[in-house]
Amino acid sequence: MSEGKLRIAMHGAAGRMGQAIARAIGESSDLVLAAAIDRSGDGTTASLDAIASADVVVDFSHRDATRGIAEACSKHGKPLVVGTTGLAQETLDAIDALAKRERVVLAANTSVGVTVLFHLAKEAARLLGGEFDAEIVELHHGKKVDAPSGTALRLAEAVAEGKGLDASSFVHGRSGMVGARKKDEIGIHAVRLSDVVGEHTLYLSGPAERLELVHRAHDRALFARGALRAARWVAREGAPGRYDMRAVLGLA
């Protein structure tokens, strides 16, 4: 029975995230997969017009493919959740054109826990003030090619915002005669270990006490669950515009 359920069109349906989202839709009681779109040849459709039958479109595809789906959403008047990363300016322009008429969520990290972590980190850094040293340690699997993680950098930005600092305070690892730690440094350290999905720890250490905020990702299903929470949110009545996960959680 799909009556009364929110109809989702998945763009990038054959990919790792597309499949995780299809599983999460199958496990839900309020959502149904109305269209599975990829580059075809794998049981999906290549026609972007397939979104016509959906209430909401979710995109986890490729940076070169997101512009097309944003334009198709404009054509068919559909709200959109974009999880695809590394988007070019012309793609962001197409998303902004859609956001004039529809609700769009653009989120490079759809984890609900990470969204709350950024919020708490900024608030904790602000409340604890300049006396507290901030250092970030991130753990990921050994196949990850970039360091530090984008999430660690966003976490450092949240801490910097809370402390009234900017990116010039970031220190990436330490080696050799680096001198004593300066008060305004925000240290960022990357650890690579076998099959760790992803872990981020923020240390805030002051005189005689230390606060630690830790997020551990167990499975990429967490991104799928967050993306579907965003899909339910964009489908609601509300002002058109481009939003992020903070809005979905009611934080902004």
Residues in contact with ligand NAD by the rule CB under 6 A: 11-12, 14-18, 38-39, 60-62, 65, 83-85, 107-110, 223
Nearer to ligand NAD by C-beta: 21 or 136? 21
State the nearest-atom distance from the C-beta of 21 to ligand NAD, in Å.
9
Q: How many whole angstroms separate alpha carbon 72 and alpha carbon 181?
A: 52
Our answer to whether residue 75 is catalytic in this structure is no
- Tell me which of 5, 62, 119, 144 is the catalytic residue: 144
Residue number of the CB atom closest to ligand NAD: 15
Tell me the two tokens of residue 4: 């009364």
State the nearest-atom distance from the C-beta of 39 to ligand NAD, in Å.
5
State the nearest-atom distance from the C-beta of 61 to ligand NAD, in Å.
4
User: Cα dist. 250→50, 109, 160, 186, 197 in Å?
Assistant: 31, 16, 22, 28, 27
State the nearest-atom distance from the C-beta of 51 to ligand NAD, in Å.
12
Handedness of CA 60, 244, 151, 114 (dihedral sign): negative
Nearer to ligand NAD by C-beta: 11 or 200? 11
Q: Considering only CA atoms, which of 155, 163, 208 is closest in space to residue 183? A: 163
Tell me the two tokens of residue 100: 């004039």
- Interhelix angle 16-27/221-235, rounded to 10 degrees, is 70
CB 61 within 8 A of CB 15: yes
Nearer to ligand NAD by C-beta: 91 or 201? 91
State the nearest-atom distance from the C-beta of 85 to ligand NAD, in Å.
4
Nearer to ligand NAD by C-beta: 121 or 186? 121
Alpha helices in the chain (DSSP H): 16-27, 66-76, 89-99, 112-128, 150-163, 221-235, 245-248
- Tell me which of 78, 140, 163, 215 is the catalytic residue: 140
Our answer to whether residue 5 is catalytic in this structure is no
Q: How many whole angstroms separate alpha carbon 31 and alpha carbon 33?
A: 7
Q: Which residue reads 């910097």 in tokens? A: 160
Tell me the two tokens of residue 251: 């934080």
Nearer to ligand NAD by C-beta: 17 or 80? 17
Catalytic residue numbers, as ranges: 140, 144
